[in-house]
Amino acid sequence: MMRPKATYVRPGTLTEAVDLLQDLDDRCKLLAGGTDVATELRSGAIRGRCLVDLSALPELKGIHEAEEELVIGSGVTLSEIASSAGVARGAPALAKAAAVFGSRQIRNMATIGGNICRASPAGDTLPPLYVQDAELELTSSSKTRRVSIRDFIQGPGRIDLKAGEILKCIRLKKAADFTMHRFDKIGNRKALAVSIVNLAGLVALSPDGIIQRIRLAWGSVAPTVVRSSRVEAFLTGKPLRMETLDQAYPLVQDAISPIDDARASAAYRRRVAVGLLFRLTTQQESPDSIMDIA
Amino acid sequence: MEPCRQVPVAFTINGRAVSLEVAADETALHVIRDRLLLKGTKEGCGIGECGACTIVVDGKAVNACLMLAAQLQGRNIMTVEGLIEKHELSVLQKAFLEDHAVQCGFCTPGMLMSSCALLKDKPRPDKGDIVDAISGNLCRCTGYQQVVGAIQDAARRLFGEKA
Ligand SMILES: Cc1cc2nc3c(=O)[nH]c(=O)nc-3n(C[C@H](O)[C@H](O)[C@H](O)COP(=O)(O)OP(=O)(O)OC[C@H]3O[C@@H](n4cnc5c(N)ncnc54)[C@H](O)[C@@H]3O)c2cc1C
Ligand code: FES
Ligand code: FES
């Protein structure tokens, strides 16, 4: 039997794209930057599909900054995020994650929408989006809906994307009322490394060092990104010191459920998850980091 | 446009306009090496990790192994063959040679394209900029110091001392 051959189509507008998706059956495969899709094509994980290239859609481009909100098109590249003044102001942890993502070449191609829809437990843009309670806007030919990132990502590679839908943009409330914006990633090396554990943290500190508000999101320690209201509640009102963070140790261990894989053991991930939390006590991040843009 | 197996594409490569039909799932790297016979661009890993296939598309360094050929449509592409100026090696290429930044040479075309994109974007890069620009290019021979040095030299020769 002949294998079905792949086909390709590049719609020019969002309307054209969603109309096309309505007509195509589930054999279509969306692609934006193509960095994940290209490796899947090469390995044979996808074949004979209709490749729908979203890279020409103007509606998916651009970063718009309003007074309280940041709207990032799903087709915005990691390079664009890393160099955007709007993202540096409204979502500094995301800017930091983008700056250490893959390599220069990967950042020039890969999009934030692709990173979200790939739904890798190690996806580097995800923890920064979770701490800012990102909302995703999805469009199909019949309707547009909004869903929180926590509801959208259901498991490794599993997302709540209905047939015919495209992720249009990401909406973030600016994190202006936090004094610390952190993103830390541990990988096998600095460049081109999949995160073994990553952590995004937003902290509002009082002048005398008391945690007034804190949001933490760990990646690569569970099937999806972990935010723990118990850890956050425990730390609120306490001084940002090693002893306090150490007391949160059992709560963090409860919240995460890492696995052994080719990159690291579950036991190592458990230790690193807390190690990254301890880093919050170092006021300065490593020199190549972005922080305290306020 | 309807979904098709053979996709017509037209683009510019090293200043030359080309148009051809490519398969839907063919990579840009395949078209460059095996259809246009520009063998300077190398295939190492094929999955975005070694940088041997780096080309410059509309001024930006990308991995040709991860790009679909169909996505070349309307783009301005530069490969290592396009660096040559009036039958002479460019300043950047000469700096690589003189500073011993080339040993086996397999990574060199990719290194050159990453640094060429950097120098266009930032004529006076500091060391951190250079290291970042080539962090997606693996070299098994040189140990990178000579490559960083060559890029610094080329920047100096082309644009003068760092401001
Ligand atoms: C060498 C290398 C290094 C990498 N380094 C990192 C890293 O450091 N950190 C990290 O997190 N990831 C990394 N990745 C993974 C990958 O680059 C990212 O997941 C990237 O963000 C994917 O974006 P893309 O635009 O290339 O996605 P694509 O490959 O185009 O698509 C990815 C998935 O999302 C779907 N999709 C894309 N856009 C949409 C949309 N608008 N609506 C609905 N579905 C959509 C596609 O169907 C596909 O399933 C790396 C990959 C490679 C090859
Ligand atoms: S061949 Fe493209 S990055 Fe290795
Ligand atoms: S010179 Fe041999 S890989 Fe770089």
What CATH number is given to the structural domain containing A70?
Answer: 3.30.465.10
| Residue B96 and residue B77 share a domain | no
* The pair of three-digit structure tokens given for residue B123, joined into one six-digit string: 């004529």
Ligand 2: centre distance to CA B62 (Å) = 10
Q: How many CB atoms lie within 10 A of CB A146?
A: 12
Calpha distance A243→A235 (Å, rounded):
11
User: Which class for B41: exposed (0-12), middle (13-18), buried (19 or more C-beta within 10 A)?
Assistant: buried
Residues A146 and A205 in one domain: no
Indicate whether B20 and B65 sit together in one domain. yes
Does residue A21 fall inside a structural domain? yes
Largest CA distance in chain B: 53
- Give me the CATH number covering residue B145: 1.10.150.120
**Which ranges of chain A have pLDDT less than 50?**
286-294
CA–centroid distance, A156 to ligand 1, in Å, is: 13
User: Chain A contact for B66, CB < 8 A?
Assistant: yes
A293 in a structural domain? no
User: Residue A267 sits in a domain of what CATH number?
Assistant: 3.30.390.50
Domain end position, chosen among B61, B82, B103: B82
Same domain, B87 and B151: yes
**Co-location of B70 and B117 in the same domain:** no
Nearest-Cα distance to chain A for B49, in Å, is 7
Structural domain harbouring A31: 7-53
| CA pseudo-torsion sign A246, A252, A254, A258 | negative
- Ligand 1 site residues, Cβ closer than 6 angstroms: A 29-37, 39, 54, 74, 101-102, 106, 109-111, 113-115, 117-118, 123-124, 161, 166-167, 192; B 47-49
Residues A87 and A48 in one domain: no
- How many angstroms does the Cα of residue B43 sit away from the middle of ligand 2? 6
Establish if A239 belongs to a structural domain: yes
Is residue B163 domain-resident?
A: no
DSSP code string of A47-99 = -S-EEEE-TT-GGG--EEE-SSEEEEETT-BHHHHHT-HHHHHH-HHHHHHHH
Q: What is the DSSP letter of A237?
A: T
Q: Does B28 touch chain A (CB under 8 A)?
A: no
- CA of B46 relative to ligand 2 center, distance in Å: 4
ipTM of the complex: 0.97
What's the domain count of chain B?
Answer: 2
Nearest CA residue ID for atom 4, ligand 3: B139
Q: For residues A139 and A112, state if they share a domain.
A: yes
Token digits of residue B71: 């996505």
Residue A277, pLDDT score: 95
How far is Cα A188 from Cα B21, in angstroms, rounded to an integer?
A: 41
B78 and B25, same domain (yes or no): yes
**Chain A residue closest to B56 (CA)?**
A105
- Please report the pLDDT score of residue A294 as a whole number: 26
Q: Indicate whether A46 and A80 sit together in one domain.
A: no
Q: Which residue among A145, A173, A201 closes a domain? A: A173
Same domain assignment for residues A41 and A81? no
For residue B52, the chain A residue with the least C-alpha distance is: A105
- Number of helices (H) and strands (E), helices first, in chain B? 5, 5
- Verify that B103 and B115 share a domain, yes or no: yes
Ligand 3 centroid to residue B106 C-alpha, Å: 5
CATH number at residue B15: 3.10.20.30
B71 at interface of A, judged by CB pairs closer than 8 A: yes
**Boundary of a domain, candidates B65, B82, B99:** B82
As a whole number of Å, the end-to-end CA separation of chain A is 62
Look up the domain containing B25 and give its range: 6-82
Q: Is residue B29 part of a domain?
A: yes
Q: Are residues B125 and B91 in the same domain?
A: yes
CA distances from B49 to A100, B63, B107, B139 (A): 15, 9, 12, 11
A135 is a domain residue: yes
Ligand with the closest atom to the CA of B138: 3
Give a yes or no: residue B69 inside a domain. yes
Per the listing, tokens 């309670």 go with A133
Tens of pLDDT, residue by residue over A81-115, are 999 999 999 999 999 999 999 999 999 999 999 99
Q: Are residues A83 and A123 in the same domain?
A: yes
Of residues A35, A50, A109, nearest to B3 (C-beta): A50
Residue among B5, B25, B114 whose CB faces A104 most closely: B114
Please give the pLDDT value at position A288.
43
- Residue A214 forms part of a structural domain: yes
Query: Does A1 reside within a domain?
Result: no
* A288: closest chain B residue by CA: B128
Residue where a domain terminates, one of A149, A173, A197: A173
Flag residues of chain B having pLDDT under 50.
163
Cross-chain CB nearest to A38 (options B24, B27, B54): B27
Asked, for residue A2, whether it belongs to a domain, the answer is: no
Same-domain status, A88 and A108: yes
The finding on whether B46 has its CB within 6 A of some atom of ligand 2 is yes
Q: Please give the distance, rounded to the nearest whole angstrom, from the Cα atom of residue A133 to the centre of ligand 1.
A: 21
Domain-terminating residue out of B82, B110, B136: B82
Total tally of structural domains belonging to chain A: 3
> For residue B1, is it within any domain?
no
Q: Verify that B154 and B88 share a domain, yes or no.
A: yes
Helices assigned H by DSSP within A153-241: 229-235
- Shortest distance, CA A203 to any CA of chain B (angstroms): 29
Same domain as A267, residue A232: yes
- Average pLDDT value for chain B: 96
Same domain (yes/no): A49, A62: no
Q: Is residue B28 part of a domain?
A: yes
Q: Are residues B27 and B46 in the same domain?
A: yes
Q: What is the CATH number of the domain that holds A24?
A: 3.30.43
The set of protein residues with a Cβ atom below 6 angstroms from ligand 3 is B 102-107, 139-142
| Residue of B30, B50, B79 with the most ligand 2 atoms within 8 Å of its CB, for mutation | B50
B61:A105 CB<8 A:
yes
Assess B44–A contact: CB distance below 8 Å, yes or no.
Answer: no
The reply to whether A194 falls in a domain is yes
Whole-prediction pTM: 0.95
Q: Which residue has the tokens 């078209």?
A: B31
With an 8 Å Cβ cutoff, is B129 touching chain A?
no
**Which residue in the set A8, A42, A79 is minimally distant from B7, CB to CB?**
A8
User: Which residue, judged by its Cα, is nearest atom 3 of ligand 3?
Assistant: B139
B105 and B138 co-located in one domain: yes
